[in-house]
Amino acid sequence: MTPLSGLVDDHEHMRQGQPKEVLPVGKLPLEQLRSLLKQAPKLDPRLLIGPQIGEDAAVIDAGDRYLVVATDPVTFATDHIGRYAVHVNANDVAVLGARPLWFFVVMLLPEKRTTPELAEEIMADVRTTCEELGVALGGGHTEITRGIDHPILVGEMLGEVAPTRLVRKTRIAKGDQILLTQGVAIEGTAILAREKSERLRDRIGADVLARAARFLVEPGISVVSAALAAAGVGEGVHAMHDPTEGGLATGLFELVAPGGLGLRVIREQIFVFPETDAICNALALDPLKLLASGALLIAVATDQADSVLTAIRDAGISVAIIGEVRPADEGITIVTNGKAEPLTPAVRDEIARAFEGD
């Protein structure tokens, strides 16, 4: 039921000819999200990490272990949507040092377009990806839903970690080195190559497009192995974060938000795949603000940086130091060819711009 005050407000807007603001596709603006989260009550002391900007998952004290719970939807991809859903949720659990163990999924399928084969294809993708990660499929919900024109999956991943091994962003400190695994933006590149192939075919080479389409599996969008390898080094790992919507630029903000710190990153140290660069140039997109699952940001004490680099490389994953945590009054900056400029988070992910008008 709509409150009377809401009806009055609506009529007032109509009378004055002032339409209500409509927000664009993508994450809620940070200030609005911050306002919403302030209203969330914390009623259970066992909820160690609850809803807050910069955190990837909730943490619940279960006695001798911590239960880590993450939930994320997949809304842009249609091809291999099951693989995306499992990996993005597993990533959010792993960046807290926990091993992903149980996956639940809500599958919303479009009316008048859903076939038995479509449902089976998506579930087969979910099952296969769970098996690859050693995760059990625990359940969920499926339905054919009015008002959508493509499948939407909402995943929930649960994992466990020993209390002494939890990696919390509140430990991040000035002077920490910032590491980035693999490069940017793996997930966005894969989605655009698969979903926008018709637009891209005349702008970039067929071989580049084919390689980009395989980014989902090579190099892949999972950060679980990298996160667990880093966490295994010990207390020198102060924080981990997987940049997703809004890309690396937004991910860097989310990394330091809980600690209220600044960052200084070096543009030349950030690896952008040639395939990503080609697609972003063709579509006039910023690769640093493009959906970035597959990359892992790590804040590590300076004296432990070499050990973490070695552990990740021994797991067969590329990694580089891209910057350093700085005092808050220095802000978040990016240095390009020796010139420092403010690094701003994405207002919305570049992939939303690419899908405008579809």
What φ, ψ does residue 61 adopt, rounded to 5°? Answer: -75, 115
In the CATH hierarchy, which fold is given to the domain comprising 27-165? 60s Ribosomal Protein L30; Chain: A; (3.30.1330)
- Mark residue 306 as left, alpha or beta (left: phi above 0; alpha: psi -120 to 50; beta: remaining): alpha
User: CATH second-level architecture of 169-354?
Assistant: Alpha-Beta Complex (3.90)
Complete edge-to-edge strand list for the sheet that includes strand 66-74:
47-49, 58-61, 66-74, 152-161, 99-110, 136-145
The whole model's pTM is what?
0.86
The H helix count followed by the E strand count for the chain is: 12, 13
For the segment 131-175, what is each residue's pLDDT rounded down to a tens digit? 999 999 999 999 999 999 999 999 999 999 999 999 998 899 999
User: Which pLDDT value is given to residue 5?
Assistant: 42
How far apart CA 308 and CA 229 sit, in angstroms, is 8
Higher pLDDT: 267 or 44? It is 267
Specify the range with the lowest mean pLDDT, choosing from 9-13, 125-129, 150-154, 181-185: 9-13
Answer whether residue 8 shows pLDDT above 50: no
Which residues, 6+ apart, have CB-to-CB distance to 91 below 8 Å? 56, 221, 222, 223, 224, 227, 242, 244, 293, 296
Provide the residue type at 4 as one letter.
L
Closest of 288, 295, 293 to residue 346, by C-alpha: 288
For the segment 324-333, what is each residue's pLDDT rounded down to a tens digit? 999 999 999 9
For the segment 184-230, what is each residue's pLDDT rounded down to a tens digit? 999 999 999 998 988 899 899 999 999 999 998 999 999 999 999 99
Cα dihedral across residues 299, 332, 345, 254: positive or negative:
positive
Domain range list for the chain: 27-165, 169-354
Q: Check if the beta carbon of residue 247 is closer than 8 Å to that of residue 290.
A: yes
Answer whether residue 337 shows pLDDT above 90: yes
Answer whether residue 24 shows pLDDT above 60: yes
Q: Fold identical between 27-165 and 169-354? A: no
Q: Check if the beta carbon of residue 149 is closer than 8 Å to that of residue 113.
A: yes
User: Which pLDDT value is given to residue 16?
Assistant: 56
Q: Check if the beta carbon of residue 242 is closer than 8 Å to that of residue 296.
A: yes
Specify the range with the lowest mean pLDDT, choosing from 3-17, 54-68, 186-200: 3-17
Answer whether residue 105 shows pLDDT above 50: yes
The neighbour count for residue 170, using CB atoms within 10 Å, is 12
Q: Indicate the burial class of 93 (C-beta count within 10 angstroms; 0-12, 13-18, 19 or more).
A: buried
Average pLDDT, the chain: 90
Rounded to the nearest 5 degrees, what angle is found at the Cα of 160, between the Cα atoms of 65 and 298?
A: 110
pLDDT, average across residues 175-183: 97
pLDDT, average across residues 283-299: 96
Cα–Cα distances (Å) from 21 to 10, 11, 13, 14, 24, in that order, read 12, 15, 11, 13, 10
The tokens of 76 are what?
A: 């842009």
Beta strand 99-110 with 136-145 is parallel
pLDDT, average across residues 235-239: 94
The model's confidence at residue 278, banded by pLDDT at 50, 70 and 90, is: very high
Q: Check if the beta carbon of residue 86 is closer than 8 Å to that of residue 130.
A: yes
Answer whether residue 14 shows pLDDT above 90: no
Which residues, 6+ apart, have CB-to-CB distance to 12 below 8 Å? none
